[in-house]
Every structure is written in C-alpha cells, then in structure tokens.
Structure 1
Amino acid sequence: MLNFSGEALSYGRTTVLSDVDFTLRPGERVVLLGRSGAGKSTLLNAAYARMAESFPDIALIPQEHGLVPQLSVFHNVYMGRLDAHGAAYNLANLVWPFRAERRAIAPVLETVGLDGFARATVETLSGGQKQRTALARAIHRGGRVLIGDEPVSAVDERHAAALIDELGRRFGTILLALHDVALARRIATRLVGIRAGRIFFDRPTADVSDGDIHDLYRA
C-alpha cells in the first residue's frame, strides 16, 4: 500500500527524515515511536499524502484535530463523509440535520463517550472532548486505512485503551504515532522507532525489547 525507499522527507524546506525505508502492507497495524520532534508527524503526513492518491477511503486523525470550532460536534463528525454526498445535500444538512444522519452519528458519539454532545459547539469542549470528536469523525468516515497522530493523547489511560481497541476493530490497516509505549504494544503488529531524523528500528512488536525502547528515548 505504501513504500518509501531511501527517501528524504521534509517539513517545508527543512529535511526532517533521511534515508527513509518504510513500507505499509494491508492488514498491518504500525505504530511510530520516538521523542517529540523526531519526525513522526513528518512521516505520517508524507504517508497520508502519498496514499490518498490511490486510496481515497483513508480516515485521518491529525494531531491538532482539524475541527471547525464554531460548528457542532454532530457537524464535525458528519464532515468525515462530506465526499459521500453532493454540495446541495451537505448544505441542507448543515442548516437542518437530517434524521438519517443524526441516527448514523449517534452510536459513534456513544462509542467515544460523547453521548449527549451532538449539539454542543466544538469551541465549548475540553481538550479531551475535542480529541474524541476527531476520533468520532474518523470512525464515522471508516475506510480501509486509518492514519492518526497521537489520537488519544488527551484521554485518560482507561478510556485511551478502550478507544485504541475500538480503532483496531474498525480499521483493517492502521498507521499511528503514539507517545504511550504500552498502548503502542497493545495495538501494533509492528513498531517503528524514530530517532534523530532516522528510523532507529523497524520490527515486529514482539521483537522490540524494553532495552530497545530505552535506547530510543535516551538523551
């Protein structure tokens, strides 16, 4: 589905990652690990840009959520499927949400712990609630692939694990960046460590030791 071979990946004009050899195959659940600024987001963004050309049914959870603050939770979640309808339908649903759309989104909101928040505007939500809204939008969109940048960082530990499990059930192929190693081990079939602008390790989860993790994060 995705292949980088010896490539340099940039943020703007700055090269962030060098000599990138990375693949993503159907059915894999790959988690990127590494210190802040190591280049995880750069790899995710490059992966999304390249895969979207061939796989339009990709769900994305960006690190900054990508929500419209002035709109309701319902409308932000609905936007996950904007491309499923024409402009006239989308505009009408913006003015007066259709019952069928409300019914489709209600169970998704319940899944992420936002039952009863459909009419709340995003700007009134806490950080964790905004993140759950972004999760709900991705779940509502569905598709073969999920790409997510720290999708549960603002959620408490117990609910974060439940949400990660839910993403694993919903999507066949997953590429995430996570800061929580336990959550990474929980969902990943493969772990990729990024350090100092390069891929430090890329192995099946069972083959990554605690020592490998320590070396990845050491100063």
Structure 2
Amino acid sequence: MDAVHLRNLTAAYGGHQVLGPISLDIRPGEHIALVGRSGAGKSTLLNLLYDQVKDRAALVPQEQGLVQTLSVFHNVYMGRLASYSRWYNLVNLVAPRRRELEEIRPLLERLGMADKLRQPVEALSGGQKQRTAVARALYQQAAILLADEPVSALDGPMAHVVMGLVSEAYSTGVIALHDIDLALRYCDRIVGIQDGQIALDEPTQRLSPADLLPLY
C-alpha cells in the first residue's frame, strides 16, 4: 500500500472542537498504537482515518458492528461481501459454501471459537463478540487494519493471541489501545493523544511504560 498522509484533521461536536488540527503520516509496514485516556480523541481520529482509506482498510470498531441475529460465520463472511456478487452472497446466507467454511473455520480455531461457527452472535459473550469482529477483519484481508480497542474485553492470554494474529495478518495497522504493555510489545510506533492533540509520536524502542503513563 502507499503511505497515508493526514493533514490538519479536525473534529467538532456541538460546536466544540474535540480533535485537532492533527497531521499524521502512516507508512507501509508500520504498526501504530494510539494511546491515551478515554475521551482523548483516539476513536475520533480512527474514524477520520477510516473516512480517508475505507476503500483499502479493514475496520474493527469499538462497538463491533456485528449483526446480532446472524451466525458467527455470516458476520465473519461479511468482511468480503464486496468481493462477490449479490447472488453469491445470498447463496452463502442461505447455505454456506464449503470454500468459505474451510477458510473461516481455521480463523475461528485460532481465536478459540471453532465451536461457535453457527451460533448467532446475540448468544455470545462480550469477549466472543470482540473476537468475531477481529475474525471478520482478518478474513477481509485489506491493505491496512484500523482497530479501536480490539482486545478490551479479553483476558491476558487471549489478548496476546489476538494481537499476535492481527500483527501477523496486517503489515500495516493503526490500533487504539489502553493497555500500555500490549502497545509496546506489538507496535513499533506509539502515537499518544491528549486533549485532542498528538502529545507524543515516537518509535516504540525509545519508550518505556513510564513515558506513556502521563497520557493517562
């Protein structure tokens, strides 16, 4: 993918500016963690970024964006709806085809959810729903991953599994994280957001947890 250049992005709610102006360059091959306290502007920045690159990005939104009444299989399959004809998508809605089942089942196995393939999303726990949204992004195979707190509902071991999978599947990604240790371990660049501005932008190797704590 080509580099992404954001220039002087701003966002306002109710006449009050909550973000920016922010300029940010995202280079191919970078895993960027957005860190900062809740309400600092991380989600807003991710949404603005998605508006710029949605044609080549997979998004894991904080609210997950799942269809509760459909199965885990169908929610993951939605990652590639745009790749197939309407007829082919309808066929998979009625009776999932073997090819798609054989592609999606291994993803769910790696996420510890193989037994949930045909369960409706509404029957899942919060952590299982989060993993379903991650599986959809993995299945999409876009050029860049944008993820907003994709492991917030997961325990330590599974959070590491998910971060490892998304880092392996996407060479370029921007991920909002509250967990400083995960950010430092799985990302090579840290962008700290504070009061709607970029307060820190450094390679991970130059940083320690103590450097990030003032952002919280």
TM-score class, shorter-chain normalisation, is over 0.9
Rounded to whole Å, the distance in 1 between the matches of 2:136 and 2:59 is: 9
Which sections of structure 1, spanning at least 5 residues, go unmatched?
none
Which sections of structure 2, spanning at least 5 residues, go unmatched?
none
2:38 matched residue in structure 1: 36
1:7 matched residue in structure 2: 9
User: Contact (CA 8 Å) 1:30, 1:175: kept in 2 or not?
Assistant: yes
Q: 1:20-78 deviations in whole A, cap 9, x for unaligned?
A: 121111111100000000000000000111012xxx23111000110000000000000
1:90 matched residue in structure 2: 89
2:185 matched residue in structure 1: 186
- Percent identity between the aligned chains? 48
Rounded to whole Å, the distance in 1 between the matches of 2:125 and 2:210 is: 36
Structure-2 change in CA distance of 1:4 and 1:94 (3 Å): same
Give the AA of the match of 2:7.
S
Q: 1:137-164 deviations in whole A, cap 9, x for unaligned?
A: 0111112210000001111111101210
Q: 1:153-206 deviations in whole A, cap 9, x for unaligned?
A: 111111101210111111010100001000001111110111112111111112
Structure-2 change in CA distance of 1:31 and 1:4 (3 Å): same
Give the AA of the match of 1:40.
K
Rounded to whole Å, the distance in 1 between the matches of 2:146 and 2:8 is: 22
**Deviates most, 31-40 or 203-212:** 203-212
1:51 matched residue in structure 2: 53
Rounded to whole Å, the distance in 1 between the matches of 2:68 and 2:79 is: 15
Structure-2 change in CA distance of 1:20 and 1:124 (3 Å): same
2:149 matched residue in structure 1: 150
Instruction: Provide the alpha-carbon RMSD of the alignment.
Output: 1.3
**Among residues 21, 35, 52, which one is paired with 2:23 in the alignment?**
21
State the number of aligned residues.
Answer: 214
1:208 positional shift? 2.4
1:170 matched residue in structure 2: 169
1:209 positional shift? 3.5
After TM superposition, the structure 1 = structure 2 runs for residues 125-144 of structure 1, keeping only pairs within 5 Å, are 125-144=124-143
1:212 positional shift? 2.4
**Deviates most, 9-18 or 90-99:** 9-18
1:11 positional shift? 5.0
TM-score by length of 1: 0.93
